Amino acid sequence: MDVSTFQSLNSGIGVFNAENKTFLIPQMNGTGAYLLAAALRSFGIQAQALDTYNALDLGKEYTSGKECLPCLITTGDILKFLNDEKEKEGPLFKPDNYIFFMPESDGPCRFGMYNKYQRIVLDSFPEFRSVKIGSLTSRDGYSLDGLVGYDVRVLRKAAYLSVLITDILNRLVWRIRPYERTEGETDRFIGKAVAIMEEAFERYGAQNAFGSILDLLDETVEQAGRIPDPSIEQKPLVGIVGEIFLRVHDQANQDLVKMLERYGAEVVNASLIEWINYTSYNRMRDAKMQFRLDLKQFRIGDAKEDLKDILTHAVDFFYQQYTQRRIYKRVQNNLPIAGDHRVAHLERILKRDDVFSFDVGTEACLSISGIMAYAENGFNGVVNVYPFTCMPSSITSSIAKPLMNKQGVPYMDVPCDASQQPGRETDIRTFMYQVYQHHRGNRDNGRG
Ligand code: SF4
């Protein structure tokens, strides 16, 4: 890399046309990356989900220990993939055929720096210098503009739907697994369901035939409804919030959801789509603030432009909300999976109790308000899971923990650092004891 100009940080990271390239998607949980890859393949992009968590040694070797855990994990994943490809392809290996997808957010935490850091790591291997890092940013709501050489609107809708259906399949699992008749039945079922949805996205995504995808989802939900044993009593409800990667990455969080289930909980984790909705909501919110400021200062021309921005962002945001509401309702007609929080409602909760502000940004505003919403809805315990030293999650802990103590709702922090935490199971058993006490005292757990 040209260290004096850091040119590679400009030329090697950004939005690149992915047609005819191998587009590599890091895995957070076992579903999302596969459905997104399938949706992109439908548009002619050779997308694939990267294997994960089997190259921690490489991740540790090429990070200093100060980076966030997701950065370490994904650095190991991409290095392992590229090394394997190089070995497999031999002289045919063409690094410029690959785009590694690493989105970013404009902070104020370190998520905006992963891709720069990984650029520096890839540049330190001469053979990987021309591997591109494809970065989408929260600044434009992760717009996919530029990824293909034609109108990106259907692609955006298909990508959004893939994340939404990932959430629904996850919610399905959390809803039925604690009540399954035979151990492992739900996991086997959902493995097949993901494969079916993957095929559906690949076949129908680019045709804009989302109705066919949703019909298959209906069948899946209907079959899933037969798994639970109705004679098993309602279990205590535990809500999870936290850093998006860690809370859905089962290996990185030591299989937190299953461990909670093993000790008697029914779990609801925060959704993936929440972050995408939040970035769209925030762009609309920022445009409104700018409009008020320009009006106050009589910058009428600018205020007119702001109005156009508000309208554009509002269209995006309301499309997302409408789609989410419609599909959740369709699913809930067959099986009462947990609903999702509305971003505007989360902001209202924070304003009402004056405990934090969307002005600060980061996932902290979603996590703090998410915890408060769980408590309001009668959950019997809440868990905040995050990479060790994560800034937004540490803020969440400092605010939410005393709040939950005051309300008598069991609360647990779960920091993760890629090592096996020997006391984790004991912590969870103690937490679950409190959850049971809460459940006994509050039989109405709010589901309805
Ligand atoms: S959210 Fe936490 S883990 Fe993610 S970049 Fe920010 S500080 Fe790191």
At 59-69, the pLDDT tens digits run: 999 999 889 99
pLDDT at residue 70 is higher than 70: yes
Measured between alpha carbons, how far is 444 from 73 in angstroms, rounded to an integer?
40
At 384-405, the pLDDT tens digits run: 999 999 999 999 999 999 999 9
Residue where the block lists tokens 């259907």: 154
- Are 257 and 301 in contact, with CB atoms under 8 Å apart? no
- Are 201 and 39 in contact, with CB atoms under 8 Å apart? yes
pLDDT at residue 310 is higher than 50: yes
- Are 391 and 110 in contact, with CB atoms under 8 Å apart? yes
Bridge-based pairing of strands 22-25 and 98-101 is parallel
Which of 276-280, 371-375, 440-444 has the least mean pLDDT? Answer: 440-444
Share above pLDDT 70 across residues of the chain, in percent, rounded to a whole number: 95
pLDDT at 421: 84
| 376: Cα separation from own chain's centroid | 23
What three-state secondary structure class fits 428? helix
CA of 228 to the centre of ligand 1 (A): 37
Q: Please give the number of the atom of ligand 1 that sits closest to the Cα of 112.
A: 5
What three-state secondary structure class fits 168? helix
- Are 45 and 37 in contact, with CB atoms under 8 Å apart? no
Q: Please give the number of the atom of ligand 1 that sits closest to the Cα of 111.
A: 5
Structural tokens at position 375: 């408590």
CA of 245 to the centre of ligand 1 (A): 9
Measured between alpha carbons, how far is 381 from 440 in angstroms, rounded to an integer?
12
- Are 326 and 339 in contact, with CB atoms under 8 Å apart? no
CA of 206 to the centre of ligand 1 (A): 33
pLDDT at residue 296 is higher than 70: yes
- Are 139 and 21 in contact, with CB atoms under 8 Å apart? no
At 219-249, the pLDDT tens digits run: 999 999 999 999 999 999 999 999 999 999 9
Q: Which of 74, 114, 117, 243 is the pocket-test mutation for ligand 1 (most atoms within 8 Å of CB)? A: 243
Confidence of residue 108 (pLDDT cuts 50, 70, 90): low
At 29-39, the pLDDT tens digits run: 889 999 999 99
Per-residue burial over 133-142, b = 16 or more CB atoms within 10 Å of its CB, e = otherwise? bbbbbbeebb
What residue ranges line ligand 1, CB within 6 angstroms? Answer: 68, 70, 109-111, 243, 363, 387, 390-392
Q: Which of 75, 104, 110, 416 is the pocket-test mutation for ligand 1 (most atoms within 8 Å of CB)? A: 110
pLDDT mean across residues, the chain: 93
At 401-444, the pLDDT tens digits run: 999 999 999 999 999 999 888 899 999 999 999 999 999 988 65
pLDDT at residue 151 is higher than 90: no
**Average pLDDT, stretch 243-270?**
97
pLDDT at 448: 36
- Are 206 and 43 in contact, with CB atoms under 8 Å apart? yes
pLDDT at residue 191 is higher than 50: yes
pLDDT at 141: 65
CA of 68 to the centre of ligand 1 (A): 6
Measured between alpha carbons, how far is 443 from 309 in angstroms, rounded to an integer?
47
pLDDT at 5: 56
Which amino acid makes up residue 259?
A: M
Measured between alpha carbons, how far is 27 from 25 in angstroms, rounded to an integer?
6
